[in-house]
């Protein structure tokens, strides 16, 4: 509960402060949240149990309760959120909007909503937090965005909102036609029986909402535009945390419907995910705008995570969950890097950049570490997830596994191209503009690099956090009885 209240309280405080005080307060708030999360993790028994935080009546007439609880999976997602937020604030520290109380308040509001999404145990509550998370990011992009911000952010808002409405419909179908005994409570919905044709439409509603959020091919077209136009902080929120809502939603809210719907659906979605991997990778190869390049690369990476989830195996889910954390770290890292470059060189075009490594070797090394994490070189975080994910996809369908495996080749192609044209090559006169990293940038990037290596070298504790929860979840799903 505190995890939601702390950011909300500090978001409210932002109304009364100005300038640097506001930034410091916001940073302090996120650090407190992070500390709190770490305490929760260290206090968690790692046995896959669900710990209730709060459970009160909310809207009695509709059977809606305000229920928050966490297990290993939720903890991992909360960890990602609360780890990312301080870094996002550090990334915007030297930007003008980073000093704006409005921006900081919105970011904190977003944090509260995201944590709510991951902890909610009631369908409607989940939906409410889901939509709540959309509002701050809309304003962040619409106020501080770049060229064409109005058109693009409006499209983003409408597109994702369009999807969520179907999720609400799906929820209502699930509850009204299923035999749920306890309203919209997750556990009760999961254990309820539902006619398979209704389940099909309900699943479709959920899948559409999540697929747009991810985004899954071919629902992705809002993504590159929005990532490109949003301010760096917004892009990080979007790519680092927000799209994980969709993946998390698939795991927790869509998979329980699969037994009712049948496996064909999953196969179809896996194919979409794998198409997305190859499609995103190939398009990323020739992008000139670094942000757009990373946006498409993100689409490819997320496609792989989704494909892992769709295998519905322990490995696939475990790999997906750790890769969500990893993708959060590397995506935020890469957008951070791009922002650092853009702030100094006033461009993100690869054709206009060259030889930055010459003027700032430290920056180049950190970029390289993040890139290697994304390219999935062993002993970086990306490898851990991709190895397990590819294995799970390969085990469930060898052909899809091989096609998905192409990502490790393509990823090297486009990210090394990015490195080549920005960091390497002859250093030009414009590079004088490349001032040394500020302390905020140094700490932010340094922390990310640290995590890239830590998870890569010793991933076992991270798997341990979720292993039992995932296997509990899977056995719960396997026990679902389908209506004859």
Partner 1 sequence: MEKNLILIPLLPLIGFLINGIFGKKLPKNVVGALGTLVVFGSFILSLLAFLEVRESGQALSHTAFTWMQIAGLKFDIAFLADQLSTQMMLIITGIGSLIHLYSIGYMHKDEGFYKFFAYLNLFIFSMLLLVMGSNYLLLFFGWEGVGLCSYLLIGFWYQNLEYGKAARKAFVMNRIGDLGLMLGLFMLLQHAGSLEYKEVMASLSTLSTEKAACIGLLLFVGATGKSAQIPLYTWLPDAMAGPTPVSALIHAATMVTAGIYLIVRSSALYSMVPEVLEIIGYVGLATALFAGLIAIRQNDIKKVLAYSTVSQLGFMFVALGVGAYSTAMFHLTTHAFFKALMFLGSGSVIHAMGGEQDIRKMGGLAKKLKITHLTFLVGTLAIIGFPLTSGFFSKDEILAKVYEHSPIMWGLLLLASAITAFYMLRMFFLTFHGSFRGTHDQEHHLHESPISMTLPLMVLAVLSLAGGFLNVPEFISEGSEHLHTWLNSVVTYVSGRHHLDHSTEWMLMGVASALALIILVSTYVVYVSKKSTAAEDDQLTGIQKWMNNKFYIDELYQSVVQKPIEAISNLGYNIIDRGIIDGSVNFIGKSVEVAGNALRRIQNGNVEYYLLYMVLGIFFLLVFKFVL
Write out the residues near partner 1 by the rule CB under 8 A.
155, 158-159, 218, 220-222, 279, 282-287, 313-315, 318-319, 355, 357-358, 372, 377-379, 383-384, 387-388, 390-391, 394-395, 401-402, 405-406, 408-409, 412-413, 416-417, 420, 423-427, 458-460, 463-464, 467
User: In a 10 Å sphere around its CB, with 0-12 CB exposed, 13-18 middle and 19+ buried, how is residue 107 labelled?
Assistant: buried
Nearest in space to 344 (alpha carbons), one of 437, 413, 267: 437
Nearest in space to 210 (alpha carbons), one of 273, 259, 151: 273
Q: Both ends of the chain: CA-CA distance in Å? A: 41
Measured from the CB atom, the residue of 130 and 279 that comes closer to partner 1 is 279
Measured from the CB atom, the residue of 26 and 390 that comes closer to partner 1 is 390
Give the nearest distance from C-beta 462 to partner 1 in angstroms. Answer: 9
**Quick one: how many helices (H) and strands (E) in the chain?**
21, 2
Measured from the CB atom, the residue of 146 and 461 that comes closer to partner 1 is 461
Give the nearest distance from C-beta 159 to partner 1 in angstroms. Answer: 7
Distance (Å, whole) CA 25 – CA 6: 11
Give the nearest distance from C-beta 132 to partner 1 in angstroms. Answer: 24
Measured from the CB atom, the residue of 7 and 316 that comes closer to partner 1 is 316
Give the nearest distance from C-beta 420 to partner 1 in angstroms. Answer: 5
42 contacts: CB under 8 Å, gap ≥ 6: none
- Paired tokens of 85: 């937020």
Measured from the CB atom, the residue of 115 and 452 that comes closer to partner 1 is 452
Measured from the CB atom, the residue of 140 and 284 that comes closer to partner 1 is 284
Give the nearest distance from C-beta 187 to partner 1 in angstroms. Answer: 24
- Measured in degrees and rounded to the nearest 5, phi and psi for residue 349 equal -75, 125
Measured from the CB atom, the residue of 81 and 431 that comes closer to partner 1 is 431
**DSSP letter (8 states) at residue 426:** -
**Residue 73 contacts residue 319 (beta carbons within 8 Å):** no
Give the nearest distance from C-beta 416 to partner 1 in angstroms. Answer: 5
Give the nearest distance from C-beta 264 to partner 1 in angstroms. Answer: 24
Measured from the CB atom, the residue of 157 and 174 that comes closer to partner 1 is 157
Q: Could you give the angle at which helices 263-285 and 290-310 cross, rounded to 10 degrees?
A: 160
Distances 202 to 58, 170, 255, 257 between C-alpha atoms, Å: 24, 4, 12, 8
- Paired tokens of 231: 């301010």
244 contacts: CB under 8 Å, gap ≥ 6: 77, 80, 324, 327, 328
Give the nearest distance from C-beta 120 to partner 1 in angstroms. Answer: 27
User: In a 10 Å sphere around its CB, with 0-12 CB exposed, 13-18 middle and 19+ buried, how is residue 35 labelled?
Assistant: exposed
Measured from the CB atom, the residue of 120 and 372 that comes closer to partner 1 is 372
The 3 state secondary structure assigned to 285-316 is HCCCEHHHHHHHHHHHHHHHHHHHHHCCCHHH
Measured from the CB atom, the residue of 111 and 226 that comes closer to partner 1 is 226
- Paired tokens of 244: 């994980």
Measured from the CB atom, the residue of 196 and 447 that comes closer to partner 1 is 447
Give the nearest distance from C-beta 127 to partner 1 in angstroms. Answer: 23
Give the nearest distance from C-beta 53 to partner 1 in angstroms. Answer: 28
Beta-strand ranges (E) seen in 104-143 are none
Give the nearest distance from C-beta 55 to partner 1 in angstroms. Answer: 32
- Degrees to nearest 5, angle at CA 207 with 129 and 136: 30
> Which residue has 């997602």 as its token pair?
77
| 3-state DSSP assignment of residue 147 | coil
Distance (Å, whole) CA 241 – CA 77: 8
Measured from the CB atom, the residue of 29 and 360 that comes closer to partner 1 is 360
Question: In 10 A of CB 234, how many CB atoms?
Answer: 32
User: In a 10 Å sphere around its CB, with 0-12 CB exposed, 13-18 middle and 19+ buried, how is residue 115 labelled?
Assistant: buried
**Residue 7 contacts residue 32 (beta carbons within 8 Å):** no
Give the nearest distance from C-beta 272 to partner 1 in angstroms. Answer: 12
């Amino acid at each position: 509960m505190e995890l939601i209240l702390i950011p909300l309280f500090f978001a409210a405080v932002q109304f009364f402060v100005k300038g640097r005080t506001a930034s410091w307060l916001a940073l302090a708030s996120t650090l407190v949240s992070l500390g709190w999360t770490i305490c929760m993790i260290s206090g968690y028994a790692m046995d896959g149990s669900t710990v209730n935080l709060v459970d009160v009546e909310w809207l009695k007439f509709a059977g809606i309760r305000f229920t928050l609880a966490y297990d290993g999976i939720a903890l991992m997602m909360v960890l990602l959120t609360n780890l990312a937020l301080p870094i996002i604030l550090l990334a915007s520290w030297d930007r003008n909007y980073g000093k704006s109380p409005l921006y900081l308040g919105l970011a904190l509001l977003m944090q509260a909503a995201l944590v709510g999404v991951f902890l909610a145990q009631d369908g409607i509550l989940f939906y409410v937090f889901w939509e709540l998370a959309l509002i701050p990011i809309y304003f962040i992009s619409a106020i501080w965005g770049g060229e064409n911000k109005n058109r693009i952010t409006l499209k983003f808002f409408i597109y994702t909102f369009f999807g969520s409405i179907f999720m609400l419909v799906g929820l209502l179908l699930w509850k009204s036609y299923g035999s749920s005994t306890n309203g919209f409570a997750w556990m009760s919905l999961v254990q309820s029986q539902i006619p398979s044709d209704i389940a099909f439409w309900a699943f479709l509603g959920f899948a559409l909402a999540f697929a747009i959020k991810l985004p899954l091919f071919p629902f992705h077209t809002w993504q590159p535009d929005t990532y490109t136009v949003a301010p760096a902080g917004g892009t990080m929120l979007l790519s680092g945390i927000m799209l994980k809502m969709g993946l998390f939603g698939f795991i927790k809210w869509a998979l329980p419907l699969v037994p009712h719907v049948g496996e064909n659906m999953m196969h179809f979605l896996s194919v979409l995910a794998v198409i997305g991997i190859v499609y995103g990778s190939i398009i990323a190869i020739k992008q000139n705008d670094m942000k757009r390049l990373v946006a498409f690369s993100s689409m490819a990476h997320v496609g792989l995570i989704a494909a892992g989830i769709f295998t519905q195996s322990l490995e696939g889910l475990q790999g997906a969950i750790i890769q969500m954390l990893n993708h959060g770290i590397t995506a935020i890292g890469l957008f951070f890097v791009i922002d650092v470059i853009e702030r100094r060189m006033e461009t993100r075009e690869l054709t206009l950049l060259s030889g930055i490594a010459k003027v700032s070797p430290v920056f180049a090394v950190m970029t390289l570490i993040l890139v290697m994490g994304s390219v999935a070189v062993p002993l970086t975080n990306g490898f851990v997830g991709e190895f397990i994910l590819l294995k799970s996809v390969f085990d469930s369908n060898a052909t899809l596994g091989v096609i998905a495996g192409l990502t490790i080749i393509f990823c090297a192609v486009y990210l090394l191209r990015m490195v080549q044209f920005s960091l390497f090559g002859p250093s030009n006169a414009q590079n004088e503009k490349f001032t040394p990293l500020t302390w905020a940038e140094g700490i932010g990037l340094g922390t990310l690099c640290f995590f890239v290596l830590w998870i890569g070298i010793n991933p076992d504790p991270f798997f341990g956090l979720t292993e039992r929860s995932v296997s509990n979840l899977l056995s719960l799903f396997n026990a679902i009885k389908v209506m004859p």
